[in-house]
Amino acid sequence: MQKNLIWFRNDLRLYDHTALNEACKSDEDQVIALFIATPEQWSNHFMSSKKISFLYYHLISLKKELLKLNIILHYYESTNFLKSIEYLMYFCSQHKINNLFYHYEYENNERNRDCLVKKQLSQQGVVVKGFHDKLLVSGQYIKNKKNQTYKVFSFFKKKIIENLQYNIPLCFPIPSKRKLNKNSCSHFFSSEKINLNFNKKIFPIGEIAAINRLKIFCKYKANDYLLKRNFPFLDSTSMLSPYLSLGIISSRHCLIKFLKEQKNISLNILYSSSWLNQILWREFYYHLLIAFPKISRYQSLSLWEKNIDWSTNIKYLNAWKEGNTGFPIVDAGMRQLNKLGWMHNRLRMITASFLVKNLLINWREGEKYFMSHLIDGDLALNNGGWQWCASVGSDSVPYIRIFNPCNQSKKIDKLGMFIKKFIPELRHVPNQYIHQPQEWSHRNHYKIDYPAPIINYNDSRKKALLIFNKARLSFKK
């Protein structure tokens, strides 16, 4: 009989869990689980308080579900990754662990931690087994002709769809109930210590809730996603990102559930589905993080970015953070983020473009702020999105593309329904003026408690084009 340990990290689920499935293959083996919290490390990585709270509530849920399988989940609170390694060594020694099972993580510090764990546990006689559970397809199969990771999404997408067409991954079932180990007991935190600072109605707790959300989306919303996805006042997105970020549900599960609803696993479906495209973008950013570790160190993939003369205007940065720029769609997006810890994807692009291309503030400031507030914060996706908007990453939009907040607002929130929901000061402004409320205020001599635009959009656009063009040309020289 072997004693197997599952080390849970950002994979807080039972269904389609590779490491759990492997650890439970033999009915004779004893299986226990462990989660090590590292608050100091989380703080250093700008993990938001909402995501931490969301994580703790799901740990409680995971513990209860594991108990149904007679698997005990142990909990320990360390400070950082190095200290967590020390405890893991101690835990494995105390419990006489033979095999450790876990899923790979791709951020720089996490990869260094796992290398040390494997080295030290191997010396201790423990067999370490890691799995690429976050990926639909292993990076070794998604390479260009030069055996390099793709930097352009369209090429990456074509390659991975060709692979998926013939190798649709399977989801692992929840393992069967284990034999009861009467000697097992766990140390766990008190639920009374957790601050509930996220909206449980919007983000319900538990793997079952996440699976139900996926089912409803795939059955009733997925086919209309392309038409409705850009309108933030509609309930048209899956809202699964917080669950995906903590591994409460897997990308594989999302892919397979969607294809089952379509009842047609064809190349055309894989290419044309706008929602599956979002799943593939997640995959793309993970592959980039693996291939280019410098992403974890706030370095852009475009070398010419170092020649951009970023602004350090604190007044502008704070106005952007607080949602007081005078551009309603930008401010509504930022206030949604500050209130819910989540922002509609289209608004993430608009607000990011505004900070970088109009206020000319370093994209890293925006990346940190988003991470420190998002309930679905994920380094690979957040960094990838910011570098994309700043035109300094892989597959980046041309630097000449700058989102016009007023035009975007008219396209995605024509009647101002979303704007008025998050900016109550503008509820009395007529719909035709909601995108430029100060114009209505001046015409009608009606004072509104909302700031005038902090910049002139057209002037800021011209300035950004000059600065970005100069940075690129000077690099070429």
pLDDT in tens, 136-191: 998 888 999 999 999 999 999 999 998 888 888 899 999 999 987 766 677 787 77
Q: Are 366 and 355 in contact (CB under 8 A)?
A: yes
Residues of the chain with CATH 1.10.579.10: 303-476
CA nearest neighbour of 33 among 61, 1, 5, 55: 5
Q: Which CATH number fits domain 3-133: 3.40.190.100, 2.30.30.40, 3.40.50.620, 3.40.50.800?
A: 3.40.50.620
Distant-in-sequence, close-in-space partners of 376: CB < 8 Å, separation ≥ 6? 51, 241, 242, 244, 245, 341, 342
CA nearest neighbour of 451 among 319, 271, 309: 319
Residues of the chain with CATH 1.25.40.80: 153-172+202-292
Q: How far apart are CA 223 and CA 211, in angstroms?
A: 18
In degrees and rounded to multiples of 5, residue 35 shows phi and psi of: -130, 130
Annotated binding site for FAD: 225, 237-241, 275, 278-285, 376-378
- Cβ-in-10-Å burial (0-12, 13-18, 19+) of 125 comes to exposed
> Is the per-residue pLDDT at 266 higher than 70?
no
pLDDT in tens, 43-86: 999 999 999 999 999 999 999 999 999 999 999 999 999 999 99
Annotated binding site: 225, 237-241, 275, 278-285, 376-378
- Cβ-in-10-Å burial (0-12, 13-18, 19+) of 405 comes to buried
Q: How confident is the model at residue 121 (pLDDT cuts 50, 70, 90)?
A: very high
pLDDT at 394: 82
In degrees and rounded to multiples of 5, residue 428 shows phi and psi of: -90, -5
In degrees and rounded to multiples of 5, residue 103 shows phi and psi of: -105, 140
Residues of the chain with CATH 3.40.50.620: 3-133
> Is the per-residue pLDDT at 263 higher than 80?
no
Q: What is the mean pLDDT of the chain?
A: 93
Contacts of residues 412-417 at CB distance under 8 Å and 24 or more positions apart, as own/partner, are 412/230, 412/231, 412/232, 412/329, 412/346, 413/231, 413/232, 413/233, 413/329, 413/332, 416/328, 417/233
In degrees and rounded to multiples of 5, residue 101 shows phi and psi of: -120, 135
Q: What angle do CA 42, 187, 197 make, to 5 degrees?
A: 40
Q: Which CATH number fits domain 153-172+202-292: 1.10.3330.10, 1.25.40.80, 3.40.50.150, 1.20.120.160?
A: 1.25.40.80
pLDDT at 265: 61
> Is the per-residue pLDDT at 336 higher than 80?
yes
Which CATH code is given to the segment(s) 303-476? 1.10.579.10
pLDDT in tens, 201-218: 999 999 999 999 999 999
Distant-in-sequence, close-in-space partners of 358: CB < 8 Å, separation ≥ 6? 402, 405, 455, 457, 460, 461, 464
pLDDT at 115: 96
Q: How far apart are CA 320 and CA 373, in angstroms?
A: 14
Chain-centre distance of CA 411, in angstroms? 26
pLDDT in tens, 10-39: 999 999 999 999 999 999 999 999 999 999
- What six digits make up the tokens of 93? 């020694």
CA atoms within 13 A on the CB side of 171: 17
> Is the per-residue pLDDT at 477 higher than 60?
no
